[in-house]
Amino acid sequence: MVATANQSKNQHEEWGFSTRAIHQAQTSLDQSRATTMPIYQTSTYTQVLDGTPVHYEYGRGDSPNREALEDTLTALENGQFAVVFGSGMAACDAILRHLNPGDHIIAGLDLYGGVYRLLEQVYRQHHIAVDYCTFDTDDWVTRIRPTTRLVWLETPTNPLLHVIDIERVTQKAHLHDLTVVVDNTFASPYLQNPLCLGADLVVHSMTKYIAGHSDVIGGVVIGGDARWRESLQFLRNATGPILGPFDAWLILRGVKTLALRMQQHTQNALHIVQFLKTHPRVSQLYYPEGQVAYSKQMRGGGGMISFVLKDADTTHVYEVLRKFRVFAVAESLGGVESLVSHPATMTHSAIPEEERNRRGIVPGLIRLSVGIEDVKDLIADLEHALD
- What are 187-200's pLDDT values in tens digits? 999 999 999 999 99
CB 92, CB 99: distance < 8 Å: no
Same domain, 135 and 35: yes
354 and 375 part of one domain: yes
Q: Which pLDDT tens digit goes with each residue over 81-101?
A: 999 999 999 999 999 999 999
Say if residue 184 is in the same domain as residue 144.
yes
Are residues 238 and 163 part of one domain? yes
Catalytic site includes residue 56: no
- Let me know whether 233 and 300 are in one domain: no
134 and 271, same domain (yes or no): no
Looking at the chain, how many residues does it have?
A: 387
Average the pLDDT over 59-63 and give the result.
92
Whether 246 and 163 map to the same domain: the answer is yes
Q: Which of 71, 183, 247, 381 is catalytic?
A: 183
Q: Is 277 considered catalytic here?
A: no
- Dump the DSSP string for 45-75: -----SSS--S--BTTT--HHHHHHHHHHHH
256 assigned to active site = no
Q: Are 351 and 271 contained in the same domain?
A: yes
In this prediction the pTM is 0.94
Which candidate, 69, 70, 67, 63, places its Cα nearest to that of 41?
63
Which of 255, 283, 303 lies at the terminal end of a domain, its last residue?
A: 255
Residue 158 and residue 185: Cα distance in Å, rounded? 10
- Active-site pick, 40, 56, 112, 286: 112
Do residue 113 and residue 205 come from a single domain? yes
Question: Number of folded domains in the chain?
Answer: 2
pLDDT at 12: 67
Report the CATH number at residue 341: 3.90.1150.10
Among residues 201, 225, 255, which one ends one of the domains? Answer: 255
Distances (CA, A) of 242 to 88, 260, 338: 11, 28, 29
pLDDT (0 to 100) of residue 2? 42
Write down the catalytic residue from 45, 60, 172, 323: 60
Question: pLDDT digits over 153-185, tens only?
Answer: 999 999 999 999 999 999 999 999 999 999 999
**CATH code, 236:** 3.40.640.10
Range of the domain at 127: 5-255
User: 137 and 77 share a domain?
Assistant: yes
372 within 8 A of 336, measured Cβ to Cβ? yes
Q: Which member of 9, 20, 149, 208 is catalytic?
A: 208
Query: Of 215, 232, 255, at which residue does a domain stop?
Result: 255
